[in-house]
Amino acid sequence: MNGFIEVFLLSLIPTFEGRYAIVYGIGRGYPLWETLLSASLGVLLLSVVLPLALPLIDRIMLWLEKTPLRKVAHLYLYYVERARRKAHPYVERWGFIGLTIFVAIPLPGTGVWTGALAAYLLGIEKKQTVPALILGGLLSMAITVLPALGLFG
């Protein structure tokens, strides 16, 4: 498989994402610029697509309210709305910068996938979510690639 496509596809995997796709590409001996570009494209794609796709969950749950699974759907919708209400003051204060930092921390359980889900559940607007996911994802890659190259590590 072409190294560019390989790194790109790895950058789309939850928790692996661009930060570890870069380490993989460098470890495989792929050209640095190609590895950085393909991983960055993966982060950009996820950062735009996920915030658009996650609201479909609410539509599915609203549809499920008209089926025998209405109790599950109602419970989900109730807890999501409750979490949004409780988190609202924090989202208003820390929304963009908080989400960016959360996504940038290169640890399992953080990243673009988890950040997009958190932004959706907490009701952070898409105009804040997409730039925060992009910036956080790219920062995470930078934080990871510097030690992988022997810099700051």
Contacts of 38 (CB under 8 A, 6+ apart): 3, 4, 5, 7, 8, 11, 21, 25
Q: Which is more confident, 135 or 147?
A: 135
Tell me the torsion sign for CA atoms 67, 68, 70, 76: negative
Q: Residues 7-39: pLDDT tens digits? A: 999 999 987 899 999 999 999 999 999 999 999
Q: Is the pTM of this model over 0.85?
A: no
Instruction: Look at residue 120 in the predicted model and tell me its pLDDT.
Output: 87
Q: How far apart are CA 74 and CA 61, in angstroms?
A: 8
Using a pLDDT cut of 90, give the percent of the chain over it.
39
Q: Which is more confident, 110 or 112?
A: 112
Q: Residues 59-105: pLDDT tens digits? A: 888 898 899 988 988 888 888 788 777 767 767 788 889 889 988 98
Instruction: Look at residue 95 in the predicted model and tell me its pLDDT.
Output: 81
Instruction: Look at residue 111 in the predicted model and tell me its pLDDT.
Output: 87
Instruction: Look at residue 121 in the predicted model and tell me its pLDDT.
Output: 82
Q: How far apart are CA 54 and CA 85, in angstroms?
A: 19
Nearest partner of 126 among 65, 57, 54, judged by Cα: 54
Contacts of 144 (CB under 8 A, 6+ apart): 19, 20, 22, 23, 106
Mean pLDDT for the chain overall: 87
Pair of tokens at residue 29: 């001996």
Instruction: Look at residue 153 in the predicted model and tell me its pLDDT.
Output: 52
DSSP state of 110: -
Instruction: Give residue limits of the domains in the chain.
Output: 3-148
